[in-house]
Amino acid sequence: MWIKICGNTNLEDARFAAQCGANAVGFVFAPSPRQVNVETVRQIARNLPPELETYGVFADAGLEDIVSAVNTCGLTGVQLHRSSDDRLPALLRDRLDRISILSVLHYKGDQFKGDQFEHQMMETAQNTALNGVLVDSSTTRAIGGTGVSFNWSEARNAFLRVAPKMRLVAAGGLSPENVQQAIQTLQPWGVDVVTGVEQAPGKKDPAKVLAFIRAAREASTETAQSLEERLKA
């Protein structure tokens, strides 16, 4: 189970996430209560363990701005929430061939009827420039870090059918209390959390970070064991 702790604004929180066993940390360059600048992230990233993945989160950002941030901060990945240019992932892949690129798909139950959500996921999964798809919730006030979960049961079948073709990351309203249910329901490749492990916007709660990572690891192990037992039956 790949675990990303996002919305970091300081070295202490990012380093603690790594110590607890997170695979990746994220930094929000888009307008947000957790927004950070390039110089802040550069100073943080240079003091993190080399095996920890570092993601920049961008919305409506241009190619050159993203490339500059990645190179200046030494980021290993980008998360694209929104772009007016459908070619952006491919252009980034040409310029930054070694980074991981996640595209964000917002699940809106009232807008996804029948197979529409699955169809959109499959279309996104066909983009060979991408390394994965992060499925998030959204509200009228925020495109990420909403603290609101989407309907996991409703999205379950689409997740299970698309999973063999693309790494799927579940996000939106996750917390130490519900991440196990999300993993058991959706069986994602990874999970991403922001508000569910915070004391306040931009400041993590160490106890919640540790509890989230432990709960996600435990749920992943249990889900794998259950699948193995069903295959043997």
What positions carry a catalytic annotation? 6, 136
Strands 168-170, 77-82: parallel, antiparallel or unpaired by DSSP?
unpaired
* DSSP secondary structure code for residue 191 in this structure: E
Distance, in Å, from the CA atom of 97 to the CA atom of 114, rounded to the nearest integer, reads 36
**Local structure of 102: helix, strand or coil:** strand
Alpha-carbon dihedral angle through residues 18, 194, 67, 131, given to the nearest 10 degrees: 80
**Local structure of 107: helix, strand or coil:** coil
Give the DSSP H/E element, type plus range, for residue 124: helix 116-125
CA angle, corner 135, sides to 133 and 136, nearest 5? 140
Amino acid (one-letter) located at 174 = L
* Alpha helices per DSSP H over 56-195: 63-73, 88-95, 116-125, 152-162, 179-186
Tokens of 50: 């080399």
- Give every CB contact of residue 110 below 8 A, 6+ residues apart in sequence: none
